[in-house]
């Protein structure tokens, strides 16, 4: 469900994703990034580096201790996982890909709808993504008689990123965009094609699909 976790801290070979993220943010210009988008990225990075848990005087958890799944949330009644799993990442590259994608999508959408509405949207998606995923996994387990759906457990901001992408594409004028720079697709359907491509990174299909419903 997640890549191997890299070493925390700003030194060492395990933080290339973090360094590239910082470079991308500097290139974009911090003054050119709307406050909610920038704050959300800072929160995710802060959680990944352990700053948030240290501030709250809490131990830093292993991914298996915070990931969201039917078995973990409903059977164990760890309902807090629905929210906390959203802001945890399995490694620096997992964090990098999600935050870079969110940077461009969030910056565009926040400017269109305003910071207050965007903040509300992120708050709702942060809960709704995993909640819907649980129902989809539960339904799939019963329909396909496959208990593995019950044991699937996910972390990361990917679902929120794709939810923002869906909203962004729906606000676009109808037209054609080039996927990967050369595949023409309908602009309002582009997020679905991205959903297929993201499988290369082995992100759970139902986790992202839940944001399309």
For residues 144 and 47, what is the distance between their CA atoms, to the nearest angstrom? 36
What does the DSSP assignment read for 138-151? Answer: HHHHHHTT-THHHH
Domain contains 3: no
Q: What is the pLDDT of residue 106?
A: 96
Q: What is the pLDDT of residue 197?
A: 66
Domain contains 8: no
Question: What percentage of the chain reaches a pLDDT higher than 90?
Answer: 65
**Residue 180: count of CB within 10 angstroms of its CB:** 9
Domain CATH for 100: 1.20.1540
Mean pLDDT to the nearest integer, 117-146: 94
Under 8 Å between Cβ of 183 and 138? no
Q: What is the pLDDT of residue 59?
A: 94
The residue among 200 and 22 whose pLDDT is bigger is: 22
Spell out the alpha helix ranges (H) of the chain. Answer: 16-28, 35-49, 51-55, 70, 81-84, 92-113, 115-143, 148-151, 158-170, 190-197, 205-209
What are 152-205's pLDDT values in tens digits? 999 999 999 989 988 988 888 888 877 766 778 887 777 777 777 665 544 454
Domain contains 155: yes
Q: What is the pLDDT of residue 54?
A: 95
**Orientation angle between helical segments 92-113 and 16-28, nearest 10 degrees:** 20
Q: How many domains does the chain have?
A: 1
Domain contains 100: yes
Domain contains 6: no
Which is nearest to 68 in space by CA: 2, 162, 6, 166? 2
Q: Which stretches does DSSP call E strand in 43-199?
A: 176-179, 183-186
Residue 41 has pLDDT above 90, yes or no: yes
Q: Which domain holds residue 123?
A: 13-209
Domain contains 196: yes
Domain contains 88: yes
């Amino acid at each position: 469900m997640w890549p191997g976790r890299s070493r925390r801290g700003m030194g060492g070979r395990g933080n290339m994703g973090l360094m590239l993220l910082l470079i991308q943010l500097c290139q974009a210009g911090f003054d050119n990034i709307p406050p909610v988008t920038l704050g959300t990225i800072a929160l995710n990075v802060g959680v990944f580096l352990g700053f948030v848990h240290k501030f709250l005087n809490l131990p830093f958890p292993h991914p298996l201790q915070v990931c969201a799944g039917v078995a973990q949330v409903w059977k164990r009644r760890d309902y807090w996982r629905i929210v906390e799993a959203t802001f945890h990442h399995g490694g620096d590259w997992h964090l990098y890909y999600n935050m870079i994608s969110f940077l461009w999508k969030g910056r565009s959408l926040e400017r269109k709808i305003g910071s207050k509405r965007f903040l509300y949207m992120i708050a709702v998606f942060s809960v709704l993504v995993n909640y819907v995923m649980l129902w989809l996994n539960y339904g799939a387990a019963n329909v396909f008689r496959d208990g593995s759906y019950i044991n699937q457990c996910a972390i990361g901001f990917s679902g929120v990123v794709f939810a923002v992408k869906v909203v962004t594409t729906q606000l676009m004028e109808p037209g054609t965009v080039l996927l990967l720079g050369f595949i023409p697709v309908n602009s309002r359907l582009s997020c679905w094609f991205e959903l297929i491509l993201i499988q290369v990174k082995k992100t759970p299909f139902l986790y992202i699909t839940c944001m399309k419903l």
